[in-house]
């Protein structure tokens, strides 16, 4: 089952094709070359971040993905996507590559 929003992300991330999706964690993971670089929860897109890139997300006003576990808030290394990616293919390509680079670094470590 996919949503129109998830379907639209194939266009947003057209420079990173192929992008595949898989249901997981109560949401949908977005993958390129077998690596998850984004997740959609409740039709909100979160991009993978790490120590090298999280400040860029913070500077754009992006929020980390959090969930409650045993009464405590847990933050994952995924940040809400900046709004600019939906309107500007160049921005979408930049942020997609940034998130995919994080996925590559995570795999290597």
**Dist CA 95 CA 85 (whole Å):** 7
pLDDT tens per residue across span 3-42: 899 999 988 998 888 999 999 878 999 999 999 999 999 9
Stronger pLDDT, 107 or 32, i.e. the higher one: 32
Percent of the chain residues topping a pLDDT of 70 = 97
Say whether pLDDT at 91 is over 80. yes
Mean pLDDT rounded to a whole number for the chain: 92
**Which alpha helices (H) appear in 1-109, and where do they start and end?**
4-12, 54-59, 89-108
Q: Is the pLDDT of residue 51 over 50?
A: yes
Q: What are phi and psi of 36, to 5 degrees?
A: -80, 120
Under the banding of pLDDT at 50, 70 and 90, the label for residue 2 is low
pTM of the model: 0.91
Interval 78-107 mean pLDDT: 94
Cis peptide before 108 (omega within 30 of 0): no
Contact (CB, 8 A) for 16 and 23: no
CA distance 58 to 45: 15
Q: What is the pLDDT of residue 1?
A: 46
Q: What is the pLDDT of residue 47?
A: 98
- CA neighbours closer than 13 Å in the CB half-sphere of residue 90: 0
């Amino acid at each position: 089952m996919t949503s129109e929003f998830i379907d639209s992300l194939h266009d947003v991330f057209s420079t990173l094709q192929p992008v595949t999706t898989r249901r997981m964690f109560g949401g949908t993971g977005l993958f390129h070359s077998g690596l998850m670089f984004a997740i959609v929860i409740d039709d909100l897109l979160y991009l993978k971040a790490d120590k090298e890139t999280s400040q860029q997300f913070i500077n754009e006003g992006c929020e980390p993905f959090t969930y409650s576990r045993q009464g405590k808030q847990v933050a994952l290394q995924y940040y809400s996507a900046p709004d600019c990616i939906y309107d500007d293919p160049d921005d979408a390509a930049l942020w997609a590559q940034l998130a995919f680079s994080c996925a590559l670094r995570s795999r290597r470590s």
